[in-house]
Amino acid sequence: MADYMKGKDRSGDVDPRIVEAIKNSLGQGQSISQIAKVVGVPASTVRHVVHRIQGFWSKVIPASAAVICAVATAGLFMGQAMPRAQTVEAQKFVLKDSAGKVRAVLAMDKDKDGPVLVLADENEKPRAGLGVFKDGPRLILRDGNGATPRVELGVLGLESKDWPVLVLRDENGKVRVGLTVFKDGPVLHLYDENDKPRVELDVSKDGPGLSLFNENKKIIWRVP
């Protein structure tokens, strides 16, 4: 089973075998209604697993954001003289403004094995980070303190399929909005101040659907 489905907090109250079957069906590009019929579970269960995938993204993004922030602060602000040549090869590049402040850093992320670009403001606070990793590209926009990600956009690679994901966070870094687009259609989640999903809106071939959750992530109302 893939890492994003391991652990109780990732699979929730869904049987791991069902989670695996749903995950494989998502990888094959089946719709939510099709998966529900094949696996033999309600469509709400499939949507629950979809939320778990989206939850994985919201947990992975901060880790990568921290890596990007670390890249911008862990010794990469030291400029290096670059030789004059048509081709320049290096593991990092640093761009400074006229005041000598670092405004951009381009380097390889050793943990994720991919390139990372960090853009900083006039106070050398990292405000934007762009990275390309094995599980897909990610863009992170931070607030004025340079520590809290507010907007996260990327493409999540899942079983040879690519799913675009958008995450919006509040001033405390809590996820408040999550949007994922699957083959069956878009799924929108609205979270409370405790990072828990409370509203889910989806549109599939069968039409739109709306679900409300309690604080324990149990569906308390669903239409249709």
Share of the chain above pLDDT 90, in %: 43
Domains of the chain: which residue ranges? 12-78+87-223
**What does the alpha-carbon distance between residue 119 and residue 129 come to, in Å, rounded to a whole number?**
6
Check if CATH label 3.90.930.1 holds for domain 12-78+87-223. Answer: yes
Question: CA torsion, points 11, 17, 18, 24, in degrees to nearest 10?
Answer: 100
Give the pLDDT score at 70.
52
Give the mean pLDDT of 6-13: 38
Contact 133, 72 (CB under 8 A): no
The three-state secondary structure class of 55 is helix
Give the mean pLDDT of 165-187: 93
- Examine the pLDDT at 33 and tell me if it is beyond 90: no
